[in-house]
Amino acid sequence: MAILPIVEVPDPRLKTVSTPVDAVTDETRKLIADMFETMYDAPGIGLAAIQVGVPKRILVIDLQEEEDEEGNPIKDPRVFINPELIDPSEELRTYEEGCLSVPDQFADIERPDSVTARWLDENGEQHEERLDGLLATCLQHEMDHLEGIVFIDHLSRMKRNMVLKKLEKARRLKAA
Ligand code: GNR
Ligand code: NI
């Protein structure tokens, strides 16, 4: 397993439309293992393959919402290969989103509150499930990455430029 470098804005690779996985192989499973290691290390609750430079339609998510008696997060790893969204709810919900490719920047984004998702798991088996809450939000955020969209692309140009300026400033401070 390996922690992979995370691609950050304004890297043009984040604008790539990722291509479907045609067969789930050992190579796919190795990438997925590396994606989980990278996501847990970051730490983040989701990661799309393009965020580690691989333009394939693969996502990993772990909300880690549950804790054990010692207060340590209980792992709940979920893999989504070639995911599709069906039947998004008319009801929207606003969540303050962040992204490992836009480090330390957050903004309110409105998305459908619940969605039905269809996807393949790491064994190539198909799943279909109605998802809501943070999982629905996170899945939609990750699926945007597969289309080359980052959450700040949902903001007005003025708000997006504000976030990008703050990010540049934080990077300059870090480099100094
Ligand atoms: O770690 C992450 N947190 C998060 C918070 C709210 C909505 C979406 C996310 S996903 C993000 C990790 C990431 O960049 N995935 O692409
Ligand atoms: Ni992201």
Taking only the tens place, the pLDDT of each residue in 35-80 is 999 999 999 999 999 999 999 999 999 999 899 999 999 999 999 9
Could you give the CA distance from residue 108 to residue 148 in angstroms, rounded to a whole number?
A: 19
Domain ranges of the chain: 12-175
Rounded to two decimals, the pTM is 0.97
Which atom, in ligand 1's list, is nearest to the CA of 100? 14
Distance, CA 138 to ligand 1 centroid (Å)? 6
Would you place residue 100 in the very low, low, confident or very high pLDDT band (cuts 50, 70, 90)? very high
Indicate if the pLDDT at residue 103 is higher than 90.
yes
> Tell me, what's the pLDDT at 151?
98
Q: Whose CA is nearest to atom 16 of ligand 1?
A: 47
* Angle at alpha carbon of residue 10, lines to 109 and 145, rounded to 5°: 50
CATH superfamily membership of 12-175: Peptide deformylase (3.90.45.10)
The one-letter code for the residue type at 89 is S
Indicate if the pLDDT at residue 117 is higher than 90.
yes
Residues 6+ apart with CB under 8 A from 2: 34, 37, 38
| DSSP single-letter state for residue 70 | T
> Tell me, what's the pLDDT at 63?
97
CB atoms within 10 A of CB 44: 19
* CA-to-CA dists, residue 34 to 25, 37, 84, angstroms: 14, 5, 23
Indicate if the pLDDT at residue 176 is higher than 90.
no
What's phi and psi for 31, nearest 5 deg? -60, -45
Nearest Cα to Cα of residue 28 among 123, 146, 144, 143: 123
Distance, CA 38 to ligand 1 centroid (Å)? 13
Q: Whose CA is nearest to atom 11 of ligand 1?
A: 99
> Tell me, what's the pLDDT at 132?
97
Is 142 annotated as catalytic?
A: yes
Which atom, in ligand 1's list, is nearest to the CA of 109? 7
| Any ligand 1 atom below 6 A from CB of 62 | no
Q: Whose CA is nearest to atom 14 of ligand 1?
A: 99
